[in-house]
Structure formats: C-alpha cells, structure tokens
Structure 1
C-alpha cells in the first residue's frame, strides 16, 4: 500500500507512515484505495510516458529528417561545387596557351593589364608578375605599367619582340632592333640595344651565334643620365677638337696638338658635313668612327656654303699652325669661285673655271666654256703643289693653275688628250689668263 499523504509505499502492517508521520488507518481500505489510486497514477504516468516517447520519436524523426535533408543538401552543394570547380579547371585548361609564336610582345608595352591576360599569360600568386610556357615567359609590372619582359625557351612557341625571334643570328637581330633601339653595347655573347628617349633597353643573349634569350626592361632616370654621359664622353673622344663647330678655338689649344692631330682635326670639320675623302688614310680614319657618314663628293662640296663662322675661322687657324710647323710660310692664296678668261684666243671660246673647293692640299674644279654656249666639259681634282700653284694630271694631259694673287690665275697645259671635248679643253687651258668674276659669284 501507499501513504495517502506522501505517496510512499508502505508495509501492510504499518499503522503510521515513517516518511511523513501520517496515520495509515484501515489498512484494507487504504490498501484497496491506494491500489486503485496507484493504478490511476500508473495509467497516467504510462500515458504521459507514451506521449513523451511518441513526442520524442516525432522530434527525433523531425531532427533526423532535417539532418538527413541538410546532409543531402550539403552533399549536393559539395557535389555541385566539385562539378563547378572541375568545370572551371577544365575551362582553364582549355584556355591555356601553349604557343605564343604569332604574338609580338613589344606591342604589350603601354597596354592595360587585361591585355596581358588576354594574351594567355597567367598572374603569379602574390606577385605583380605574369608567366607563360612554364615560366619561359615572364612579365613584371608596377601598377598598370610593364617593367620587364623576359622571353626564352623553344623558338617555335616563344613570342617575338620587335620582330626579333629566338634562333635568329646576330645580324638578323641587329637588322630588326637597331633602328628602334639605336644605341648599342656589346659584350661576349650579349648585345644590348637602347632607346634613351623612350627609357628602354633590350638585352639579347646568344649561344653559338643564335639568339636564345630576350630581356626588355624600363630604364630608371639615373640609368638614362648615366648612359647619356657615357655616350657623350665616348663621342667626344673620337674628335681632336670636339667643339670646333660650336666655338672659336684658341691658338694655345691648337698648338697643343701634334701635326698629325692637326691634320685630322682640320679635316673632321669637313667630315661633320659628309665630305667624301679621297685620301686613303683620312677615309679609313673617319669611317672607323661612330658618327661619320660620307655623302658629299669632293667635287660637289662647297665649304663656303656649309661651314658656319666658327668652322671657317677654325679651319684657317689650324691650317696656319700646320703650315708653320711644316715650314710653309704662307697658305695657298687661291680662293674658291668662278673664274673667267679675260683674253681672246681667236677660236671663239670664252673659258671658265669654277674652283669648287680647296681642301687638304686638294683643289676641286669644273672646267668649260661660256660662249658660244654655256658648257661644262670636266669636273676633276688638282693637287696643290705650292702656295699659289695646283696641278691636274690625268689621261696624258697636265693642266697647271698658277695664281698671281687670290683673284687672278694663269692656266697652261702640256701633253695630249683625245675625245669629243678635247678641243675645248685644250683651248681654254692653253696659256689663258683668268680672273675671279664678281658677276658669277654673287
């Protein structure tokens, strides 16, 4: 039986509940009543328990259902992500460029970063660098500006740079790059081409005379200044008088040179203007310099027209010192210009001689007739043999020009000559007197 107050289970022979002190009373009745109550409570607790179990089961089912659904959804998401990544990976592999041979990477300079990506290059993780062909192409950037481009590897798949391509010979590379990058430096196995105006350089490395690496880079301001200074110093070292076209030379600086240097120094004033030398030593010397370009034949060169005032005075000064050292007291007295005959030889020819140039003991002249028609017969050079004499000797004929002063000369000939114009030549040089013509030298 159970205590009606506290509900504790009691022994049948107990009259008082030892738990709460309640009097048990009629044991049979209490027992029966308690049994009934107990059954009621048991049924109640069983009902509650069943309900709880049912609710728990439902809850567990819901949770399990949700978990299962979430799991399935998670698995589906993972699966979808895996598929997406696989597709992206597949897409990357499809876009990977393995042949850049149709591209010229000089065109990349000055373009946007997106153009690098369009070309097929990949950005390196954590770096402002783009690569291709397993690192054989490397392009570094600073912001949006390309700083360097390096190309090596297989010539069949590598890009070109200003038409220079891996595998080319030294001469082929020079032909492609020299015009755009005019300054050059050369070392063993390497050629460096520079464009100081654009602040850029292209280094080309060679193995067995074949191009195997191209490296372009942007030059800093300091590098450009340094290259310009070195270039200027190297250029000045090729001259005896580097500034003879920009200032008047002093007699002291002229006299400080050897007689050999004086001859070269005087002639370099002519060389600056493209004078083509007939003297083999002078020709060889100036052709060995980096700046000389012979473009004007001696017969066409007119120093009076092309020289500035500095150059005219400096040529005179150098020649004066040269003659003094060589023991020549007076320089050649003849002057350039048109001379006409002032006598009549009875054949109707009025002769004319044009002294085109007097240079380096060489006199260049044209010879012909004014009447009855203006006619040029020959253009030749004569050797200056003294301060007032020059002599032409060719094809069996010798013509001698002798000046009495800077405006008057006497012309004679000796020997024989044949040909269509031989008569004119002999007539206008046969003991003829000539004078410098103001009319034709305006």
Structure 2
C-alpha cells in the first residue's frame, strides 16, 4: 500500500511509514484522495523528528551557550599593543601582596640612640657608685639611677640593657687581692672599660678612687710593698720582704720612700736571697736566716747571676745606685 501522508510504497502490515514515520494501522485509506503515482511528483512533507533527538539538541545548545559565556568572562581582553589587560578587580576581602612586593613588617632593629651609653663606640666610662658584695665573692659596682646600655654579646648579637643600676667588676687589670680590701658600701669612683657578656654588664677598672679622690690602686700597691715590721733594727720585715715587688716589676723612687740605708742594702741582697744564695757577711746571713721564706742552699762562690730575671738584675742595680747615693761608702756590713 501507499502511505496516505507521503505516498511512499509501504508493506501492508506496516504500523509506521518508513519514509515519514506516520502511524498507518489506525488511519483508513481514503480512495478519493488524488495521490500522485510518481514519487518524484509528490511534494514531500517535513519529517517530524523523534522527541529524544529534540531533547538532546536542546541540551547541547544550553551547554554551548554556557561555555561561551564562561569563556568570555575568563578570557582577558587584548589591549591595543596585543598584550593582556589586567583581570577584573578582586572582591573585597581577598588576600593581596603588599605594594611593590614588600614583605610583611618585622620587629624593628634595636636603636642604639635609645641607650644612655653605646658601648660599641666607646666602652670607657667613669661611674660614681658603691661597692657591693655578691655571691661567690663577686664584687659589684652599684649606682643610684637606672641607666641603659647598648652593646653586643661575644657572638655579635645586639642587646639593649635597660634600667641597669649595677655592673659586675672584672678585676683583670687590678692587683691580686685588691678587691678583697674594698669594703661593702664603700663609695668609689671607677674609670674602666664596660662590656656585655651573655646579657650581663661588666666593668674592668683601671682606676679606682675613694670619695676624697685618693688613688686606691696605688695605695694598695704601696701597702703590699711596705715591710711587715718597719723598725730600723736588723729584724726589719722579719718573716716577709722589704720590697715584695722587686722580682715582679721595675722599682721606682717612690718604692724607696722611708727606707733606711740598711734597709736599702738588705732589699738589694733580698733579690739574691730569693734564689737561695748564702752570704759571707754574718750580719746578712743571720738576717735572712730569720726570714720564713729563705732557704740558703747555694754558696757565694757557686752562685750565678744568670738565674736572675732581667727585672731582678735591673732592680739590683737600681738599689745599689740608691744605696751609694745615700752614702758614698754604702752600708757597712758587720760594722757592729
């Protein structure tokens, strides 16, 4: 039979037209229809597309439109030079880098101008204060008002000490035992080198004077050089030295102040006696035998001055010159 809709030859038992897709089993044929016999002379009707194909096409169209919109938003516009323009402004609250790529601010460095004293430019200071004792026989210099000190630890790290009213005393430049002679709460003026070590403030004195301006270092050294017994008898300085420093440093005129001609002679021979020299003079031998430190083991003939240090040799000559300056004949041994 022929399809009543498009005229295409279709098997009699067909339910749908294979050409146009129309249903045939419930459509009675109308013999009065003047249908063209030649399929080429027929005027074909538009084919109806199945609903599934229409839905798929609509979905594809929606996806295509969405993609075009998304692409137009994400693609930056071209500027006149062919480069890309900046992206749209970010919403408020987005993280942004600092202008010119600046890093986040860090803690400010220590400012040396904040300190009362900059120990990196000059650590030599003069401070008035009081001597205080601390644990472990440590002596402190303490002052009234808190001061600030800028410096560096031995490892080079910067440090600012604030509101400081004391410093530990470094006795490296002081005579041995001098700090022990300074009493607690004694008022002093100290000139010294200040430094910081492991966060602690230290002062290394090279001058210390009392409230009246007296040089305490010189006074201590003089007290150590004075004989224990300053009588003019032959037992002068029994058990001790007339000039204890004669083997350690060069003597000066001030070391001879108050000494008699006899004492100058004894002090000269004291230098030799330290090295065990014995003496032909009964007076000298008896004198040194009474000294607790003396041990005569070398006869005068066997003794060599090569055992003396350069300091001792110069001091022996200095004392000999002083002796004969006091009396052209020198001191007369065994005169009594």
TM over 0.5: no
TM-score scaled by length of structure 1: 0.22
TM-score scaled by length of structure 2: 0.27
Higher radius of gyration, 1 or 2: 2
Between structures 1 and 2, the one with greater strand share: 1
Between structures 1 and 2, the one with greater helix share: 1
Q: Which structure carries more relative contact order (alpha carbon 8 Å, separation 6+)? A: 2
